[in-house]
Chains A and B, each alone.
Chain A
Amino acid sequence: MIGSSKIIGAVEIGSSKVAVLVGEIVDGDSLNIIGLGESPSHGVKKGEIVDFKAASEATHDALARAEQASGASIDEAYLSQSGGHLRGFLNTATVNVSSSSSVVSESDLTRANQEAKAKQLQESRVYLHHIHNGYQLDGRSVGYPLGMDGSKLSLAYWSIHADTQKIKDHIHVVNAFGLKVDEVIVSGLASSITVTSEDERAQGVLVIDFGSGTTDYVLYQNAFVCASGSIPVGGDHITNDVSLGLRISRKQAESLKIEFGHCQVSPGDAGEKVWLIGDKMIGDRHLPKAAINQIIEARMSELLQLIKEELGEQWNPKLAPAGVIITGGASLLSGLGEMVEAVFEQSAHYGLAPSWVREDLTAPSYSTVLGLLHYALTGQTRYQARTQQRKSGLWNRMAKIFN
């Protein structure tokens, strides 16, 4: 439709902040970022809503700011999801090729799809994603087997499921603003799409998104997602550890972490001291830098080891030549890259936002919301779904009078 546009709101309800990025998708094939709204998060811990009212206040504030900044009402909401309740597993199905001539047909593909997606979950869990993980025909990997000869067709999905109630809480927070959630996307998937290229995903790459409440990871091999997870440990926990370890307030701990923190204790840290507040007035005191960094190193090392353990045998540095890409607000911690390289025995670098992103959105803390908009865009062109003509003309102009 000429001139049709849809306003998408990418909503990330994080543990430290709520970010809403508003994008306009024009004619289903181009995206304009038209507004950003942010608000400090409340009522969210480790990516899960623990206080509905507080989380709603923060989220609605961010949504309202985003709509005001963009000058448009959001038509559809894309919501990110994170938290320790997310689980993923490889879901495979094998069917016999039905045709007597052993040629794979559409019905064989359909049966394999249905078989793969039909596996029941435990009570109170729902599927979020079924990510296609490739076909195999008689044991050999194939791109698209329709029309090929074979007797056994296998199909794999990386299926991600979550706790129903936790998903409901997130959705209802957005609903309470008057918006319908059109898509729920795992944060790790969204941010990995932003910071990796197609080539990197084809070669094999591990993406780690360090958030304040959770750390999400996604492993790509041969362009498919072959592992993903969410660990309920993030930058806030490091702050908490520093606060408890040094017996200072969380605010002071956060400040010290950002200013002086490093993921590894260096020999030079031994005798070095830092000021707690920095104004050298009453209440200010010296703290050993080494103590700060020891705490940080311990927690980060534990976190990275956890990720490695969860990946298990799936992690093979040789199968991820593109290395490890790190992103997220907590990834700005000094020395993190080196620690990641040491743990995963592979090169690590910071993920960069795409070149078309404006400068104020290139920070790693925006990679998730950018990924949500990217998903909205590619979802539009791929599936040509629900192109809704933005009301224009007299009706919309009249509406703007009262806006």
Chain B
Amino acid sequence: MAKPKRKTRKGTAPSWRAIKQKRGKRAVTFTARLRKFKFFARFAGIGATVLGVIIVGLLCFYLIKTATDFFHLSGPPKPLGRVVMHTNGVLDEDWLKESFRPNKSTNLMDIDIRGLKKTLESSGQVRSAMIERQFPDALVVSLSEYQPVAKVAVRGKKKKTRIYLVSKEGAVYEGSNYPRATLEHLPYLDGVELKQTKRGFRPIGGMEVVSELLDLSRRSTPELYADWQVISLKNYSGDSAQVGATISIRTRSMGEIIFSPQDLQEQLDRLDYIVQYIKDERIRKVKRIDLTLEDQAAVQLAIQTNVRRR
């Protein structure tokens, strides 16, 4: 038995593990090639199956999304018998008829659902429209309308002023079918720069905060809310974190009230206290109440220039 040499370098004795293994580089036999082929075929099959499932899934999704246009029902065509309308707002079927006047002989299947949806949504007052065919002869129109929180006067080309409504999302639109009382109670919006687009006006930023303020005031201090006339967004672009951002409200009897866009409820509580104090002290002319001074408020009176801090 041959004895090994004495060590020359520590830790460098060769082990069989140092032999480089050539797994799968070249299948030498038919059996090995067949195994390799089966291995890749298996994964190709899995890949094809997964791809097929994805394609079928996407196709189904596409079909479901465009189902009304894709599936053509066979059978005798039926003319449109009735139109059923649902809405969460004030629009009615008369309004709908202005946008959609089908012939009596119009086939239910021939109605351009997409086109009708587009037309209704372009009115401005309609936030979204869902239209379904209800066989055999009905068309169901479900509308979701914008709810107005303010109104804005817009001077047109011929110096004619038109009143537009503003929703809490900032959408500007001409209102239809609203009761007069509803519109009268809406405060005016001032200090906004309206930008015209193809479909009307660009949405006004910051209306969510304004809507929240109006909503809170309407619920917690309704008598104060009733006094509000104009909301000015001159110093408010919609970014509540902006330094110096304020919302001013011109009232009938309390002059101008300046709010910070944050902590609205707390400001309303302070305002309520201040108004009560003013009434108790019988202070007649208040020019401005500034609620933006954190836990203080600056009240400016009309006949005196003294500032009384509360």
B-binding residues in A (CB < 8 A): 52-53, 56-57, 60-61, 63-64, 67, 73, 87-89, 114-115, 117-122, 125-128, 161-162, 164, 167-168, 171-172, 175-181, 184, 310, 395, 398-399, 401-403
What B residues does A398 contact at CB under 8 A?
45-46, 49
A237 CA to B8 CA in the complex, in Å? 41
A184 CA to B19 CA in the complex, in Å? 11
Instruction: Name the residue of chain B whose CB is nearest to the CB of A165.
Output: B19
Contact with A along B3-16 (1 / 0, CB 8 A): 11111111111111
The total number of A-B Cβ pairs within 8 Å is 127
Q: Are B21 and A175 in contact (CB under 8 A)?
A: yes
What B residues does A128 contact at CB under 8 A?
15-16
Q: Are A57 and B10 in contact (CB under 8 A)?
A: no
Instruction: Name the residue of chain A whose CB is nearest to the CB of B16.
Output: A126
Instruction: Name the residue of chain B whose CB is nearest to the CB of A67.
Output: B35
Apart from A168-B19, A176-B22, list 13 A-B contacts with CB within 8 A.
A73-B39, A117-B11, A118-B12, A119-B4, A119-B6, A120-B6, A121-B14, A128-B16, A162-B16, A175-B22, A176-B28, A176-B32, A177-B32
Please provide the chain B residues from 18 to 41 with a CB less than 8 Å away from any CB of chain A in the complex. 18-19, 21-29, 31-32, 34-36, 38-39, 41
What B residues does A57 contact at CB under 8 A?
29, 31
Q: Are B7 and A120 in contact (CB under 8 A)?
A: yes
Residue of A52, A64, A88, A120 touching B12 (CB-CB under 8 A): A120
Q: Are B31 and A177 in contact (CB under 8 A)?
A: yes
Residue of B5, B16, B26, B46 touching A119 (CB-CB under 8 A): B5
B118 at the interface (CB under 8 A from A): no
Q: Are B23 and A60 in contact (CB under 8 A)?
A: no
What A residues does B4 contact at CB under 8 A?
89, 119-122, 161
What is the size category of the interface that chain B forms with chain A?
35 or more
Give the one of B4, B25, B29 with max A CB within 10 A.
B29
Contact with A along B44-76 (1 / 0, CB 8 A): 011001000000000000000000000000000
What B residues does A179 contact at CB under 8 A?
23
B42 at the interface (CB under 8 A from A): yes
A-binding residues in B (CB < 8 A): 1-16, 18-19, 21-29, 31-32, 34-36, 38-39, 41-43, 45-46, 49
Q: Are A127 and B28 in contact (CB under 8 A)?
A: no
Q: Are A176 and B29 in contact (CB under 8 A)?
A: yes
A205 CA to B15 CA in the complex, in Å? 28
> Given A117-B13, A127-B13, are A399 and B46 neighbors across the interface (CB < 8 Å)?
yes
What B residues does A168 contact at CB under 8 A?
19
Q: Are B22 and A126 in contact (CB under 8 A)?
A: no
Q: Are B10 and A114 in contact (CB under 8 A)?
A: yes
A56 CA to B33 CA in the complex, in Å? 12
Pairs A-B, 3 closest by C-beta atoms: A402-B45, A60-B31, A402-B42
Q: Are A180 and B21 in contact (CB under 8 A)?
A: yes
A176 CA to B27 CA in the complex, in Å? 5
Residue of B2, B8, B36, B43 touching A87 (CB-CB under 8 A): B2
A177 CA to B34 CA in the complex, in Å? 10
Q: List 19 A-B contacts (CB under 8 A).
A: A56-B32, A88-B1, A117-B11, A118-B10, A120-B6, A120-B12, A121-B5, A121-B13, A121-B14, A126-B14, A126-B16, A167-B19, A175-B21, A177-B35, A178-B24, A180-B21, A184-B16, A401-B49, A402-B42
What B residues does A180 contact at CB under 8 A?
21, 23
> Given A89-B1, A175-B23, are A64 and B16 neighbors across the interface (CB < 8 Å)?
no
Q: Are A118 and B23 in contact (CB under 8 A)?
A: no
What A residues does B11 contact at CB under 8 A?
114, 117-118
Give the one of B32, B35, B36, B45 with max A CB within 10 A.
B32
Q: Are B41 and A402 in contact (CB under 8 A)?
A: yes
What A residues does B18 contact at CB under 8 A?
126
Residue of A117, A120, A184 touching B9 (CB-CB under 8 A): A120
What B residues does A61 contact at CB under 8 A?
31
Instruction: Name the residue of chain A whose CB is nearest to the CB of B18.
Output: A126
Give the one of A57, A63, A171, A176 with max B CB within 10 A.
A176
What B residues does A114 contact at CB under 8 A?
10-11
A177 CA to B31 CA in the complex, in Å? 8
Instruction: Name the residue of chain B whose CB is nearest to the CB of A177.
Output: B32
Q: Are A172 and B22 in contact (CB under 8 A)?
A: yes
What B residues does A395 contact at CB under 8 A?
46
Instruction: Name the residue of chain B whose CB is nearest to the CB of A91.
Output: B4
Q: Are A56 and B28 in contact (CB under 8 A)?
A: yes
